[in-house]
Amino acid sequence: MRCKSISQKLYIVNFPLFFLKKFQMSPIQAEISAWYLAHKRPLPWRETQNPYFIWLSEIILQQTRVDQGMAYYFKFVEAFPTVFELANADEQSVLNLWQGLGYYSRARNLHATAKQVVSEFHGKFPDTYEGLLSLKGVGPYTAAAIASFSFDLPHAVLDGNVFRVLSRLYNWSVPINSTQGKKDFEKMAQELLDKNNPGLFNQAMMEFGALHCKPTQPNCDNCPVQLYCQAYAAQTVDQVPVKLKKQGVRNRYFLFELVQASPDSILLEKRSEKDIWQHLYQFPLKEFADNASKQAYMTALSPAFQSKEYKHILSHQHLYCHFVTRDLHASDTAERISILAFDQYPIPRVIERFLEDYGLDIFESQAR
């Protein structure tokens, strides 16, 4: 038996019926839109149609929880209230503000896109889906989000939450990360989209997936679209969406060397090669082919200080990191920086974790 709709439980006015008649919505569109208006979280980027703020929030929230991303959103809005301020900032300031979010290529693309908007579009974001796609670091999802939220253009968003809602509504078991799956879900999302209210409905679908139709323990017993959910009828809710297995994980073995260059300076090097953490700063690094080689090196080095092991997990890489002290060598080419200026340099999260445990007191500085 179908549960009562959310409108019957929470409203004096029957919102889904109102939407059906007023905006000529389908029953699924009406139910999900009504649920959203009753349950949506008060997020600051939902209170504006400014494409700069919406773009900023979307880039920050990629691979990031909303509660974590919120603080970074406010930091960026305060530091760079318009795209012009962000475009004119130096890269190190942007990376410093981004520090702790990971996936630093997003920060570099963020900075590059701001420069592109200023130089090519005179500080105004393109107001077409195709124009938005021309921006660096903006893919189909982000372009659809900005197009619908800022300009009310009928482009459906597809994120993990929407994939999940659609796969359950239609009991669709084609893998969401397969070529055919992407085509199928793009078509389903676009067909279901409320073309008269694309921004609201896109937000509703994402929020519904995040809060109600969750990956585990979805609230099926009190679901406003239970009647239309084919996975619920087939009892396959826990079997969709289907996703192809990821590529194998690469293990890497890092040894960071803590080198004091003078009483008040230490060595740092900037990562410039096309690899993880590009343009971030780190202590001089040695990488080993396997853990045994790294352990043998540390034993031979017999450092005055050796940290515990830090395991740092990236999407397709697992990093096994140690930190050791060593003396300054004549062959060292890393940059000498003042310990007092250390906070001005953007560093990877694994080095942050080390410093949270040990601090810079590991260096015998006369400046502290």
Q: What is the pLDDT of residue 104?
A: 82
- Domains annotated for the chain, with CATH where assigned, are 6-239 (1.10.340.30), 250-362 (3.90.79.10)
Q: What is the pLDDT of residue 272?
A: 80
Q: Which two tokens stand for residue 223?
A: 């679901």
H-only helix segments in the chain: 6-10, 15-22, 27-39, 51-61, 66-79, 83-88, 91-98, 105-121, 129-133, 140-151, 160-169, 179-192, 198-211, 230-234, 291-301, 349-358
222 touches 189 (CB < 8 A): no
DSSP string, 246-293: PPPPEEEEEEEEEEEEETTEEEEEE--SSSTTTT-EES-EEEESSHHH
Q: What is the pLDDT of residue 133?
A: 95
Question: Which amino acid appears at position 359 of this protein?
Answer: G
| 58: annotated active-site residue | yes
pLDDT tens string 14-65: 555 555 555 567 889 999 999 999 999 999 999 999 999 999 999 999 888 8
Question: Which amino acid appears at position 36 of this protein?
Answer: Y
Q: What is the pLDDT of residue 287?
A: 93
Mean pLDDT, the chain, whole residue set = 89
Contact partners, residue 329, CB within 8 Å, separation at least 6: none
Q: What is the pLDDT of residue 20?
A: 54
- Which residue positions in the chain have pLDDT lower than 50? 1-13, 365-368
Long-range contacts of 79-85 (CB under 8 A, 24+ apart): 80/114, 82/52, 82/123, 83/52, 83/114, 83/117, 83/118, 83/123, 83/125, 84/118, 84/123
Indicate which residue of 31, 47, 58, 91 is catalytic.
Answer: 58
Q: What is the pLDDT of residue 13?
A: 43
pTM given for the model = 0.75
Q: What is the pLDDT of residue 16?
A: 55
